[in-house]
């Protein structure tokens, strides 16, 4: 054995901040205001990050203390991403769309000391503060201190007053790279929200993937429209990857409807954009009604839920390739990215790769585990629960006392994803379904995702989700909750016929209900938990119910 001659350098967010302000001072964060944009250069992000660190130190924030944000994607949020972890505190991004009970639970569970809040959502936060005794300071961004109503033990500041006059440098501590940097709770689609704590090292390594062509390929020539919220898995890592690459960030703030999104695209012409499928569904519907050239986008990254193949085709039609990616709060989140392999020039063949969730990057190890705990082959057919491990995969859930390694979620150092998947011999992973959403009918499995994809390929469907519901004869059968284009399209027989031409007859659902909107989670995914509840409560008018 010989010793390496390499130096050890801790991979720290302060390093990223200083690098970006020195090497890419002219790169920008651009926040949409509804009419135009307001900008902050990366040099100014570094300045404000240091000012925040100085101000927070004066407020008594110490290493490891939690500083929360209740904010949209905007300039100030980027400065907080820079300053808070760099000073050794932990940035806790709070989801704006949680229920009040969940929000209060999370603020207390994480023990947040300071909360930064956008004035536009300050009334919402104000309502929580009576239940959060450990919060000491609230800082209002983009509005007056009066936007917040707080109990006496909380001091309210404005962002501008807080940082005014503070030095634009800070003596960043030489942290261990494994120090906690950012924390985020899962959105609770399948259970109570659980906390995941990213380290400086995990974020730094994950950012490298953001700048790699195997990953998102971010470079200094890019301008990234980050629609995926900064409160949802760090906006998929874009804010830090952008600092590393010197890519401009385009921040939509609270303007997340298709109209303003297309307006900001027309004006700011981003080269990349990232969001969950439901956002692109809305953008696509508007594009069809009001065509607009969006070919300034070299790619659109879509994940967080399965992307229907019909959506990929649709965007190909606009001249913009969708890149499908898979991940979780627990995986930082980039777990797989779907880029066709070299040599596949044929469009049809390439398409077959693009609709998968993609390949794992080198640091992410993966395996699929069968019903009896056995490892399944990577043959593209055998399926089982997907388990992953690696330097940006969580190994536990956050607990104030000691982190918990719950055996239902962790298996001998591997994260159990709760997703059922197949992997091809050349490493392309396909999510068959969430384990909890698979439908077992007469002893056979139906993937709710595959069924949704086929249903969504019918132009008469705007959006549709599928859940398994009890059935006297088959134990379980699929139920479709759909939004259709027009009243005439609410025709179950026509939809069934469409499906019969495409999938085995036994998979074609009998039960349908047409609504004006499918319930969505806080991050815009179909909320199957709520759909199940509504179904059980008899809230839907079910057409074609064999028992009805
Ligand atoms: P939550 O679990 O609360 O919804 P996450 O945002 O962490 O929060 O969701 C992760 C889950 O989302 C994954 O386990 C998987 O079920 C689903 N998911 C993410 N990306 C994809 C994708 N590209 N295709 C299918 N499912 C996906």
Superfamily of domain 9-28+40-166+173-218+232-249: ANL, N-terminal domain (3.40.50.12780)
Tokens of 316: 């190909």
C-beta of residue 338 within 8 angstroms of C-beta of residue 356:
yes
Helix, strand or coil for residue 548?
Answer: coil
What is the C-alpha to C-alpha distance for residues 418 and 375, in angstroms, rounded to an integer? 15
Of 440, 444, 500, 541, catalytic = 440
User: Quick check: is 445 catalytic?
Assistant: yes
Of 166, 299, 330, 463, catalytic = 330
For the chain, give every residue range classified as CATH 3.30.300.30: 438-536
Q: How many CA atoms lie within 13 A of 345 on its CB side?
A: 1
Fold of 438-536: GMP Synthetase; Chain A, domain 3 (3.30.300)
- For residue 43, the model assigns a pLDDT of 98
For the chain, give every residue range classified as CATH 3.40.50.12780: 9-28+40-166+173-218+232-249
C-beta of residue 169 within 8 angstroms of C-beta of residue 57:
no
If one residue of 328, 337, 339, 451 were mutated to test the ligand 1 pocket, choosing by the most ligand atoms within 8 A of its CB, it would be: 328
User: Quick check: is 186 catalytic?
Assistant: yes
- For residue 405, the model assigns a pLDDT of 81
Output the CA torsion sign for 225, 230, 233, 238. Answer: positive
111: phi > 0 → left, psi -120 to 50 → alpha, else beta; which?
A: left
434 within ligand 1 shell (Cβ under 6 A)? yes
H-assigned helices in 122-237: 122-128, 159-163, 200-210, 233-236
Residue 357 C-alpha to ligand 1 middle, in angstroms? 11
- For residue 189, the model assigns a pLDDT of 62
Q: Comparing C-alpha atoms, which of 26, 23, 24, 28 is closest to residue 248?
A: 28
Residue 340 neighbours by CB under 8 Å, 6+ apart: 349, 350, 353, 354
C-beta of residue 188 within 8 angstroms of C-beta of residue 418:
no
- For residue 515, the model assigns a pLDDT of 96
Tokens of 318: 């606009």
What is the C-alpha to C-alpha distance for residues 423 and 416, in angstroms, rounded to an integer? 16
pLDDT in tens, the chain (548 residues): 999 999 999 999 999 999 999 999 999 999 999 999 999 999 999 999 999 999 999 999 999 999 999 999 999 999 999 999 999 999 999 999 888 999 999 999 999 999 999 999 999 999 999 999 999 999 999 999 999 999 999 999 999 999 999 999 999 999 999 999 999 999 766 667 899 999 999 999 999 999 999 999 999 999 999 999 999 999 999 999 999 999 999 999 999 999 999 999 999 999 999 999 999 999 999 999 999 999 999 999 999 999 999 999 999 999 999 999 999 999 999 999 999 999 998 999 999 999 999 999 999 999 999 999 999 999 999 999 999 999 999 999 999 888 878 888 999 999 999 999 999 999 999 999 999 999 999 888 999 999 999 999 999 999 999 999 999 989 999 999 999 999 999 999 999 999 999 998 999 999 999 999 999 988 888 999 999 999 999 999 999 866 54
What is the C-alpha to C-alpha distance for residues 22 and 42, in angstroms, rounded to an integer? 9
What is the C-alpha to C-alpha distance for residues 542 and 424, in angstroms, rounded to an integer? 39
- For residue 546, the model assigns a pLDDT of 67
Of 33, 62, 101, 445, catalytic = 445
Ligand 1 atom closest to the CA of 232, numbered from 1: 6
- To which H or E segment does residue 430 belong? strand 428-434
- For residue 99, the model assigns a pLDDT of 86
Ligand 1 atom closest to the CA of 335, numbered from 1: 20
Output the CA torsion sign for 132, 134, 135, 136. Answer: positive
Ligand 1 atom closest to the CA of 521, numbered from 1: 4
- For residue 443, the model assigns a pLDDT of 85
Tokens of 325: 């990616």
Helix, strand or coil for residue 282?
Answer: helix
Ligand 1 atom closest to the CA of 193, numbered from 1: 3
User: Quick check: is 440 catalytic?
Assistant: yes
Tokens of 367: 């395996």
- The 8-class DSSP code of residue 250 comes to E
Residues pairing with 192 in the sheet:
none
201 within ligand 1 shell (Cβ under 6 A)? no
Length of the chain in residues, anyone? Answer: 548
Tokens 């900001």 correspond to: 264
């Amino acid at each position: 054995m010989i010793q390496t001659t390499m130096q050890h350098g801790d991979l720290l967010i302060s390093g990223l901040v200083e690098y970006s302000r020195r090497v890419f001072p002219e790169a920008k964060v651009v926040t949409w205001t509804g009419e135009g944009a307001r900008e902050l250069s990366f040099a100014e992000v570094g300045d404000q990050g240091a000012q925040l660190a100085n101000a927070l130190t004066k407020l008594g924030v110490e290493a490891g203390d939690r500083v929360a944000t209740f904010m949209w994607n905007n300039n100030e949020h980027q400065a907080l991403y820079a300053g808070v972890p760099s000073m050794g505190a932990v940035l806790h991004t709070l989801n704006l769309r949680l229920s009040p009970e969940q929000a209060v639970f999370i603020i207390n569970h994480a023990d947040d000391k300071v909360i930064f809040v956008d004035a536009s959502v300050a009334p919402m936060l104000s309502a929580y503060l009576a239940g959060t005794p450990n919060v000491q300071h609230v800082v209002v961004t983009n509005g007056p201190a009066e936007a917040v109503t707080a109990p006496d033990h909380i001091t309210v500041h404005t962002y501008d007053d807080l940082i005014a006059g503070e030095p634009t440098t800070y003596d960043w501590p030489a942290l261990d790279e494994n120090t906690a940097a950012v924390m985020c709770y899962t959105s609770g689609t399948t259970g109570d929200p659980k906390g995941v704590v990213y380290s400086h090292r995990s974020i730094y390594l994950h950012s490298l993937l953001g700048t790699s062509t195997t990953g998102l390929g971010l470079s200094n020539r890019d301008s990234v429209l980050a629609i995926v919220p900064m409160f949802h898995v760090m906006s998929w890592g874009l804010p830090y990857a952008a600092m590393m690459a010197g890519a401009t960030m385009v921040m939509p703030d609270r303007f997340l409807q298709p109209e303003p999104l297309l307006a900001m695209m027309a004006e700011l012409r981003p080269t990349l954009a990232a969001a969950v499928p439901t956002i692109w569904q809305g953008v696509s519907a508007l594009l069809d009604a009001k065509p607009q050239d969006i070919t300034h986008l070299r790619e659109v990254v879509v994940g967080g839920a399965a992307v229907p193949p019909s959506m990929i085709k649709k965007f190909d039609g606009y001249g913009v390739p969708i890149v499908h990616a898979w991940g979780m709060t627990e995986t930082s989140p980039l777990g797989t990215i779907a880029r066709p392999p070299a040599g596949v020039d044929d469009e049809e063949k390439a398409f077959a790769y693009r609709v998968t969730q993609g390949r794992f990057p080198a640091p992410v190890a993966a395996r699929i585990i069968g019903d009896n705990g056995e490892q399944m082959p990577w043959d593209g057919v055998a399926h089982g629960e997907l388990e992953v491990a690696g330097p940006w995969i969580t190994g536990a859930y956050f607990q104030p006392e000691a982190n918990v390694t719950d055996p239902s979620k962790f298996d001998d150092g591997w994260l159990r994803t709760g997703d059922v998947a197949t992997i091809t011999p050349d490493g392309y992973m396909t999510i068959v379904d969430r384990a909890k959403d698979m439908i077992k009918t007469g002893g056979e499995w139906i993937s709710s995702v595959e069924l949704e994809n086929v249903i969504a390929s019918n132009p008469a469907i705007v959006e549709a989700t599928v859940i398994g519901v009890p059935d006297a004869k088959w134990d379980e059968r699929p139920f479709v909750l759909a939004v259709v284009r027009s009243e005439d399209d609410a025709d179950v027989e026509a939809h069934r016929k469409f499906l019969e031409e495409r999938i085995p007859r036994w998979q074609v659902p009998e039960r349908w209900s047409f609504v004006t909107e499918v319930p969505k989670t806080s991050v815009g995914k179909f909320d199957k938990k709520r759909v199940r509840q509504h179904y059980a409560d008899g809230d839907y008018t079910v057409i074609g119910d064999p028992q009805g």
